[in-house]
Structure 1
C-alpha cells in the first residue's frame, strides 16, 4: 500500500505534518470513508491550540475505525516478484 503525507500551517502559523495517509483507488469501498475521516482529522488538527509537529493518520484511524475495517484496509497483500 502506498502512503502520502501532508504539510500545512495551523491556526497559529506553525508547520504541521500529517503522515501515513493511505492512497486508495476511487473504486475502493473505503475511499469515501478515508476521505471524510481525513477531512475531519485535518480540521481538528488545524484548530488545535496544543502544538505537535507530526501526526499519524494511521494511528488516528486505528482509534476511530472499527477494528475489522481497519484490518481489511491495512492488510498486507502478497507482493509480486518480491517487490
Structure 2
C-alpha cells in the first residue's frame, strides 16, 4: 500500500506534518470513510496548539476505527515467490 504525507501551517503558524495517509483506488469501499476521517483529523490538528509537529494518520485510524475494518484496510498481500 502506498502512503502520502501532508505538510501545512496550523492556526498559530507552526509547521505540521501528517504522515501515513493511505492512497486508495477509486473503487475502494473505504475511500469515502477514509476521506471523511482525514478531513476531521486535519481539522483537529489544524486547531491543536500542542507541541506535536508530526502526526500519524494511521495511528489515528487505529484508535478510531473498528479493528476488523482497520485490518481489512491495511492488510498486507503476500507476494508469490517473493516477486
Q: Report the number of matched residues.
A: 83
- The answer as to 2:24 corresponding to 1:24 is yes
* Alpha-carbon shift at residue 80 of structure 1 (Å): 5.4
Deviations 1:4-58 (A, max 9, x none): 0000000000000000000001100000000000000000000012121100000
- Structure 1 residue runs without a partner (length 5+): none
- Structure 2 residue runs without a partner (length 5+): none
Aligned partners of 1:65, 1:50: CA distance in 2, in Å? 23
Q: Which runs of 4+ in 1 moved over 4 A?
A: none
Aligned partners of 1:6, 1:30: CA distance in 2, in Å? 20
TM-score, normalised with respect to structure 1? 0.94
* C-alpha RMSD over aligned residues: 1.2
- The answer as to 2:29 corresponding to 1:15 is no
**DSSP-derived class of the 1:63 partner:** helix
Show the counterpart of 1:78. 78
